[in-house]
Amino acid sequence: MDLTAFVTAQFLGVAAIFARIGTVFLFMPGFGERSIPVRHRLALALVMCIALSPALPVGPLELSGLAAILALLGTEATLGLWLGMTARILMNALNFAGYQIGMTSGLANALAPSMGAFEGATLVASTLMLAGTTLIFATDLHHVIVGAMVMSYDIFPLGGIMPGDMARQIVRAAGMSFYVGVSIAAPFYVMGLVLNVGLGLANRLMPTLPVFFVAMPVLLASGLLVMTMALPSMLSGFLTVFADWLGLLTF
């Protein structure tokens, strides 16, 4: 093998790893946010590829023809997109819960910049997303994401793809995200039901009572109180599901 062929084979091996891991970094919580410059994400993904390459079952590749190279890189990018989207879908459980909490506690009109996108979001949703992302790095759960990248080569070898299983897993991740979001917001559903029923009965007993002006401070105070009490359990439950899902790569 001459030097040109050797360098080409080494480069194709790293490029195949970069196609999968680099795509994961486009959606990875914390690193995949739009507020992070693209060049920084690409540089971090490249460094991660070089660091993980000795531990991955990917060696120098000898491919003949541009079509074979593009097919391999496209397959690897699809797998990385699938893995990154799974993590992002699970993260959206906090976003969904934040919107639900805002609606039930009267904080729906308290807007704040959305983490990860240049659009508006409720203050509660932004707070939960920021807290969840911070705890992922504080508890070293980003190592679980890196471990999931490495484990993906045991399930999907280089160039291997299972569209049916991948689609099924995305649907399961969406269902789990919805379930976790509803579970996180469940105390606020109960609080909203009890308060609204109580205020409705009070309005029936005292028709002259200005319910709107009385209800809003009560909803706000109750929502903040319940959030203060339930926030540790909410985030702990989310982190447990997030770690189990990505750490085990359940199929």
Whole-prediction pTM = 0.81
Judge whether 119 and 223 are in contact, CB under 8 Å.
no
Q: Indicate the pLDDT class of residue 120, thresholds 50, 70 and 90.
A: low
Query: Which of 132-146, 161-175, 237-251 bottoms out in mean pLDDT, i.e. has the lowest?
Result: 237-251
Sign (positive/negative) of CA torsion 238, 244, 246, 249? Answer: negative
For residue 112, report the phi and psi dihedrals to the nearest 5 degrees: -150, 160
Q: Indicate the pLDDT class of residue 181, thresholds 50, 70 and 90.
A: very high
> Could you state, in order of their start, the residue ranges of all structural domains in the chain?
3-248
Block residue for tokens 């410059």: 37
Q: Tokens for 91?
A: 């993260």
% of the chain exceeding 90 in pLDDT: 4
Sequence letter at residue 114: S
Residue 54: other Cβ atoms inside 10 A: 7
CA distance 125 to 136: 16
CA distance 199 to 205: 10
**Quick one: how far is CA 181 from the chain centroid?**
12
CA distance 40 to 31: 9
Q: Strand pairing partners for 112?
A: 121
Q: Residue 165 above 70 pLDDT? A: yes
Q: Indicate the pLDDT class of residue 9, thresholds 50, 70 and 90.
A: confident
CA angle 192, 193, 197 (to 5 degrees): 115
Q: Tokens for 130?
A: 């920021």
pLDDT tens across 203-219, in order? 888 888 787 788 888 88
Q: Indicate the pLDDT class of residue 223, thresholds 50, 70 and 90.
A: confident
In the 3-class helix/strand/coil scheme, how is 17-70 assigned residue by residue? HHHHHHHHHHHCCCCCCCCCCHHHHHHHHHHHHHHHHHHCCCCCCCCCCHHHHH
Residue 78: other Cβ atoms inside 10 A: 17
CA distance 209 to 157: 68
